[in-house]
């Protein structure tokens, strides 16, 4: 009985660890409006906000994936000048620095990633599970936009 219980416990722990680490993000994922560039544990992104007044946002930092949650902890930029030459019709671009951006991973296969932005909060106010629970509750009320991103394949360069 003791051996059987130990075996079940080992299987449960193995599955728990595997389920928390099965999403390995690397490369560029994009759709018609949003782009994420994952490289090791860092990411840069250029996305549009959720609903209402839609405006472009960009940032970079480190990311972690736990279960079905992607968190991006942005850092301050080392570049002094951020402004891009953009059409003013898009409005102002928000540079996200010193904040944590939280997404739900709705679906992941190696060539496709579906995310829902559920919240952005200052890094100092991000309290992991407590903040994520709050964001999930808000997402259940408002149903934010899903981003269906495809992995961009590098095209081989033709030999000349």
Separation between Cα atoms, residue 37 and residue 14, nearest integer Å: 30
The CATH classification number of 24-78+90-151 equals 2.40.128
Report the predicted TM-score, pTM, of the whole model to 2 decimal places.
Answer: 0.74
Digitized pLDDT (tens) for each residue of the chain, 160 residues in all: 677 766 665 565 555 444 444 678 999 999 999 999 999 999 999 998 876 678 899 999 999 999 999 999 999 865 544 444 444 444 578 999 999 999 999 999 989 999 999 999 999 999 999 999 999 988 888 778 889 999 987 655 555 5
């Amino acid at each position: 009985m003791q051996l059987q219980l130990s075996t079940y416990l080992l299987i449960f722990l193995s599955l728990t660890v595997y389920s928390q680490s099965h999403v390995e993000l690397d490369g560029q994922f994009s759709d018609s409006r949003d782009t994420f560039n994952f490289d090791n544990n860092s990411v840069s992104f250029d996305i549009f906000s959720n609903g209402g007044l839609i405006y472009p946002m960009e940032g970079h930092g480190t990311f972690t994936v736990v279960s079905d949650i992607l968190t991006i902890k942005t850092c301050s930029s080392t570049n002094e000048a951020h402004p891009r030459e953009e059409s003013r019709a898009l409005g102002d671009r928000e540079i996200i620095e010193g904040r944590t951006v939280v997404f739900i991973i709705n679906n992941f296969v190696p060539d496709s990633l579906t995310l829902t932005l559920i919240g952005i909060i200052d890094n100092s106010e991000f309290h992991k599970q407590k903040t994520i629970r709050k964001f999930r509750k808000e997402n259940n009320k408002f149903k934010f936009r899903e981003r269906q991103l495809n992995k961009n394949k590098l095209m081989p360069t033709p030999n000349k």
